[in-house]
Amino acid sequence: DTGVSQNPRHKITKRGQNVTFRCDPISEHNRLYWYRQTLGQGPEFLTYFQNEAQLEKSRLLSDRFSAERPKGSFSTLEIQRTEQGDSAMYLCASSLRTLDEQYFGPGTRLTVT
Protein backbone atom coordinates (compact mmCIF):
# COMPACT_ATOMS: atom_id res chain seq x y z
CA ASP A 1 0.00 0.00 0.00
CA THR A 2 1.55 3.29 -1.07
CA GLY A 3 -0.91 5.58 0.70
CA VAL A 4 -0.43 7.74 3.80
CA SER A 5 -0.15 5.66 6.94
CA GLN A 6 -0.56 6.70 10.56
CA ASN A 7 0.28 4.92 13.79
CA PRO A 8 -1.18 4.16 16.17
CA ARG A 9 -4.76 4.14 14.93
CA HIS A 10 -6.14 4.52 18.42
CA LYS A 11 -4.56 5.86 21.60
CA ILE A 12 -6.12 6.04 25.04
CA THR A 13 -4.12 7.95 27.61
CA LYS A 14 -4.59 9.49 31.01
CA ARG A 15 -4.60 13.22 31.46
CA GLY A 16 -1.12 14.56 31.99
CA GLN A 17 0.66 11.87 29.98
CA ASN A 18 2.66 12.51 26.84
CA VAL A 19 1.71 10.90 23.52
CA THR A 20 3.43 10.70 20.15
CA PHE A 21 1.86 9.92 16.78
CA ARG A 22 3.63 8.99 13.57
CA CYS A 23 2.75 9.73 9.97
CA ASP A 24 4.38 8.17 6.91
CA PRO A 25 3.48 10.18 3.79
CA ILE A 26 3.46 8.99 0.20
CA SER A 27 7.14 8.62 -0.59
CA GLU A 28 7.58 11.27 -3.29
CA HIS A 29 5.44 13.89 -1.53
CA ASN A 30 7.49 16.69 -0.01
CA ARG A 31 4.55 18.44 1.66
CA LEU A 32 3.07 17.07 4.86
CA TYR A 33 0.17 18.43 6.88
CA TRP A 34 -1.36 17.75 10.28
CA TYR A 35 -5.03 18.43 11.00
CA ARG A 36 -7.24 17.87 14.02
CA GLN A 37 -10.85 16.78 13.68
CA THR A 38 -13.34 16.75 16.54
CA LEU A 39 -16.59 14.85 16.37
CA GLY A 40 -19.04 16.26 13.87
CA GLN A 41 -16.67 18.94 12.62
CA GLY A 42 -14.40 19.43 9.65
CA PRO A 43 -10.66 19.05 10.07
CA GLU A 44 -8.72 22.07 11.34
CA PHE A 45 -5.20 22.84 10.16
CA LEU A 46 -2.44 22.40 12.73
CA THR A 47 0.88 22.58 10.94
CA TYR A 48 2.64 22.08 7.62
CA PHE A 49 6.06 20.88 6.47
CA GLN A 50 7.83 21.32 3.20
CA ASN A 51 10.52 18.65 3.29
CA GLU A 52 12.00 18.93 6.80
CA ALA A 53 11.09 22.58 7.33
CA GLN A 54 8.06 23.41 9.42
CA LEU A 55 6.65 26.43 7.61
CA GLU A 56 3.45 27.21 9.44
CA LYS A 57 1.84 26.51 12.79
CA SER A 58 -1.75 27.23 13.66
CA ARG A 59 -2.70 29.10 16.81
CA LEU A 60 -4.43 25.83 17.73
CA LEU A 61 -0.99 24.34 18.26
CA SER A 62 -0.18 25.30 21.82
CA ASP A 63 3.25 25.00 23.41
CA ARG A 64 2.34 21.47 24.47
CA PHE A 65 2.31 20.38 20.84
CA SER A 66 5.43 19.79 18.80
CA ALA A 67 5.87 18.32 15.36
CA GLU A 68 8.96 17.18 13.53
CA ARG A 69 9.83 15.79 10.16
CA PRO A 70 13.45 14.65 10.27
CA LYS A 71 15.07 14.23 6.86
CA GLY A 72 11.83 15.19 5.17
CA SER A 73 10.38 11.70 5.44
CA PHE A 74 8.01 10.59 8.20
CA SER A 75 6.63 13.05 10.73
CA THR A 76 5.82 12.86 14.42
CA LEU A 77 3.33 14.88 16.42
CA GLU A 78 3.87 14.94 20.17
CA ILE A 79 1.43 16.22 22.75
CA GLN A 80 2.83 16.81 26.21
CA ARG A 81 0.76 16.89 29.39
CA THR A 82 -2.39 15.84 27.57
CA GLU A 83 -5.72 17.40 28.51
CA GLN A 84 -9.23 16.12 27.94
CA GLY A 85 -9.72 18.81 25.31
CA ASP A 86 -7.01 17.15 23.23
CA SER A 87 -9.32 14.22 22.54
CA ALA A 88 -9.83 14.22 18.77
CA MET A 89 -8.88 12.52 15.55
CA TYR A 90 -5.45 13.63 14.34
CA LEU A 91 -5.14 13.46 10.58
CA CYS A 92 -2.03 13.55 8.47
CA ALA A 93 -2.01 14.38 4.77
CA SER A 94 0.64 14.74 2.09
CA SER A 95 0.85 16.32 -1.34
CA LEU A 96 3.36 16.69 -4.14
CA ARG A 97 2.97 20.40 -4.76
CA THR A 98 1.18 23.42 -3.39
CA LEU A 99 -2.52 23.43 -4.32
CA ASP A 100 -2.34 19.75 -5.26
CA GLU A 101 -4.76 17.20 -3.92
CA GLN A 102 -3.90 16.26 -0.37
CA TYR A 103 -3.94 12.54 0.38
CA PHE A 104 -5.13 11.74 3.86
CA GLY A 105 -4.15 8.97 6.22
CA PRO A 106 -6.67 7.03 8.32
CA GLY A 107 -6.00 9.19 11.37
CA THR A 108 -5.08 8.55 14.98
CA ARG A 109 -7.98 8.76 17.38
CA LEU A 110 -6.84 10.09 20.75
CA THR A 111 -8.93 9.68 23.86
CA VAL A 112 -7.74 11.43 27.02
CA THR A 113 -9.38 10.11 30.17
- Given phi > 0 = left and psi -120 to 50 = alpha, else beta, which region is 85? alpha
**Residues 55 and 45: beta-carbon distance below 8 Å:** no
- For other proteins, the closer CB: 74 or 103: 103
- For other proteins, the closer CB: 19 or 48: 48
| Cβ 54 to other proteins shortest distance, Å | 12
| Cβ 91 to other proteins shortest distance, Å | 7
- For other proteins, the closer CB: 48 or 79: 48
| Cβ 100 to other proteins shortest distance, Å | 9
Q: List residues binding other proteins (CB under 8 A).
A: 31, 33, 35, 40-45, 48, 50, 55-56, 91, 93, 98-99, 101-107
> Closest by alpha carbon to 56, among 71, 34, 24?
34
| Cβ 63 to other proteins shortest distance, Å | 21
- For other proteins, the closer CB: 80 or 87: 87
Ranges of beta strands (E only) in 1-113 are 5-7, 10-13, 19-24, 31-37, 44-50, 53-57, 65-68, 75-79, 88-95, 103-104, 108-112
